[in-house]
Amino acid sequence: MKIILASASPRRREILEKHGIEPVVMPTAADETLPENVDMTVAVKTLAERKARACYECIKRDPGLSDKYEGYVIIGSDTIVWKDEIMGKPVDAEDAYRMLDSIRGTSHYVVTGVCLIDLNSGDFAVIHDITEVWCKDYTDEDIYDYISREEPYDKAGSYAIQGYFGRYIDHINGDYENVVGLPYYRIDETLKKYMF
């Protein structure tokens, strides 16, 4: 399968590689501003489509790239954590503490949007997946220990389920890979359904 991943996320690349796909990694700049009070699924689908389209337009502007990547499908993706608000990447330790405090001992949602664009035809599909994640009732000391590490600061919601924070996850309802950043099973079924 010929895939261009419009993301610099090593986690997304690793998920594709785990499923036997060696993607071409081609992140591009896209507008990530959203209106206030936007629905969580609308937010991720909007951002995923912007990222995929930015990559598509970059390739289409360059005849050399268009020829080189003929027959490829672009994947753009965006993941958020939702607990009464969109939780993006923390701006500092105080912000990380606030997020981790708000999700302890309760559940929150991890939502990933994915946009697939066929480079040849321009046909596209935008999908999303939602996983409910339940956290254990960890202590303030646990939070301070965690935010003293590097892990929280480039992650939506200030945590990585596949990393050190995994010990504080009680259980999930839904797809684990979606929480990591890419719901592969949804991508696979969409590729098969629309014959990209």
Element (H, E) at 179: helix 176-180
Amino acid at 23: P
Can you point out the beta strands (E) in 32-148? 73-82, 86-87, 107-118, 124-135
State the number of CA atoms in the 13 A half-sphere of 90 facing the CB.
Answer: 20
What one-character DSSP code corresponds to residue 93?
H
Given 39, 78, 118, 175, which residue is catalytic? 78
DSSP states along 136-168:
----HHHHHHHHTSSGGGGSGGG--TTSGGGGG
Q: Is 78 a catalytic residue?
A: yes
CA distance 35 to 6: 23
Tokens of 98: 């606030």
What one-character DSSP code corresponds to residue 23?
P
Element (H, E) at 49: helix 40-60
Instruction: Judge whether 109 and 132 are in contact, CB under 8 Å.
Output: yes
CA distance 13 to 61: 25
Active site amino acids: 78
